[in-house]
Amino acid sequence: MNDKPVIAAFDFDGTVTYHDSLLPFLIYTYGYFKTYRKLLLKAPTLVGFVLGVIPRQKAKEAIISSFFKGATLETIQQFGKKFATEKLNDIVRPQAKERIKWHQNNGHQCVLISASLDIYLDPWAQALGFKDVICSGLEITNQEKITGRLQGTNCWGPEKIRRLEKICGPKNQYTLYAYGDSRGDKELLEIADHSFFRSLGESN
């Protein structure tokens, strides 16, 4: 009999949701015109990332800096809370909520693990009863102003495993269900006892 605790780790963008969540958050916060104008100015960086010339973290920080640098964390967190409450569920898959609830009803510890930003993931996950949220955060100054950089390493690929084990302990201490949809989830899916790639149903 397996008496190990069970952890269910869910990626967010493209797994729990239908698509990326950062762009909708930027539009919600700044409006369509300002958002696309800022993104257009960062087009060379985005093209460099797509071509593999610019690292993922550097490209992401370029976007973060363009939108958030100099703003107070409290201000952006307020937008994040409102977005989580008013808009985020519009892009969440109903079957993902059902699967999360299934795990919770079976006494499993649900963990949201994503490269997306904590400013809106934290309040959304808390409302759904997640035990832990492992994601990317914004670096701030001593005055709690956003620097434009990430706090530490972008939560993607191998970083997901490192952070999961930091919070939950070594993998051999629990049974792991993992849900993902992209290259950024590869390592997490590989160590899981039950892996679900682009699926919220039957295990691979």
Q: What pLDDT, on a 0 to 100 scale, did the predictor assign at position 201?
A: 73
* 135/122 Cα distance (integer angstroms): 9
Top-tier CATH class for 6-197: alpha beta
Neighbours of 142 (CB within 10 A): 5
For the stretch 75-100, pLDDT in tens is 999 999 999 999 999 999 999 999 99
- What would the pLDDT profile of 106-156 be if each residue is shown by its tens digit? 999 999 999 999 999 999 999 999 999 999 999 999 999 999 999 999 999
pLDDT value at 203 more than 50: no
Q: How many CB atoms lie within 10 A of CB 57?
A: 18
pTM for the whole structure: 0.94
List the chain domain ranges: 6-197
Tens of pLDDT, residues 162-183: 999 999 999 999 999 999 999 9
Confidence band, pLDDT 50/70/90 cuts, at residue 202: low
Amino acid 204: pLDDT: 46
Total number of residues shown for the chain? 204
pLDDT for residue 22: 96
Which residues touch 17 (CB under 8 Å, ≥6 apart)?
Answer: 91, 92, 93, 96
